[in-house]
Amino acid sequence: MTRHDPLAALADDPAVDLAPLRARLATDADAAGLLDVAYRTLDTPVGALLLAATEHGLVRVAYAVEDHDVVLGTLAEQVSPRVLHAPARLDAVAREVDEYFAGRRSSFDVALDLRLASGFRRRVLDHLADIAYGSTASYAAVASLAGSPAAVRAVGTACARNPLPVVLPCHRVVRADGSLGQYVGGADAKQALLVLEGAA
């Protein structure tokens, strides 16, 4: 599913600067209570990240390999069809992500909207922040933290479906032998994040 852009018809005209129109559309929609999900993309050392937020907080971070258009379509289905490119709502998040990649931030302070996770997956996400910056934990250790020591594979699934990678650090969860394991952004991204944090 591709996202609808009401200004797409003008996009091919190089004489038309759409930035002010898009900004006004986002501002007016927000003021009218019609902006349920705001999004923007941010260039990072691990590729372009899609950041999406509701009025309650950051609801989704997605790598390019997840296909940003597909992620936006899923948000439209699961959260609200009123999804709009509105970067201003995500300025604070973008600033913290930039600080993280610059090595000036070890945790995130932004509000989170965790509606996309429930049950055991949610319990796993709640414990990811307990894994300190610069450290790793095994899938088994996280399963124990989440109250189900035998649910090692379920921890892997919860990490793979983490709606907020980077911010909720599932990249710090590794196999018992220390090998990386799977990661939604790919093995190279996981390795890069652990190297950045001094954990690899």
Q: Which candidate in 146, 170, 173, 194 is catalytic?
A: 170
Alpha carbon dihedral 48, 110, 163, 188, in 10-degree steps, equals: 40
CB 127 within 8 A of CB 163: no
DSSP-assigned letters across all residues of 76-144 = HHHT-S-EEE-GGGGHHHHHHHHHHHTTS-SS--S-B--TT--HHHHHHHHHHTTS-TT--EEHHHHHH
Length of the chain: 200
Strand, coil or helix: 148: coil
CB 39 within 8 A of CB 51: yes
Active-site residue 159, yes or no? no
Helix 152-160 with 119-128: angle, nearest 10 deg = 80
| Calpha distance 185→193 (Å, rounded) | 10
Positions marked active-site: 170
